[in-house]
Amino acid sequence: MEAFIKKLEGILEVDKIEMDDVLLDFEEWDSLTSLSIIATIDADFHFSITAEELLSAGTVGNLIKLIQVKSKK
């Protein structure tokens, strides 16, 4: 998961993300950014999440939880 968080920091173009950071508040956030995150999750964890799932996660921490839950399935 650490490697993914590093990638997430790269996509959002910040040096460090915190678990309670709100995805929509990142300066880099737009629809294409969210598609980059979805594609990265697909490549790293081999499952897809929808744009709605990503949006409704809200925070970085919830997104990580969502990935952990889906990874176990």
Report, in Å, the least distance between residue 18 CB and other proteins: 21
Cα angle 40-46-50, degrees, rounded to a multiple of 5: 65
Report, in Å, the least distance between residue 55 CB and other proteins: 12
Report, in Å, the least distance between residue 7 CB and other proteins: 8
Tokens of 25: 């508040």
User: Phi and psi (nearest 5°) for 49?
Assistant: -115, 155
Residues that bind other proteins (CB under 8 A): 10-11, 32-33, 35-36, 38-40, 42-44, 50-51
Round to whole Å and give the CA distance between 35 and 32.
Answer: 5
Round to whole Å and give the CA distance between 44 and 3.
Answer: 9
Q: Between 5 and 38, whose beta carbon lies closer to other proteins? A: 38
Q: Between 40 and 59, whose beta carbon lies closer to other proteins? A: 40
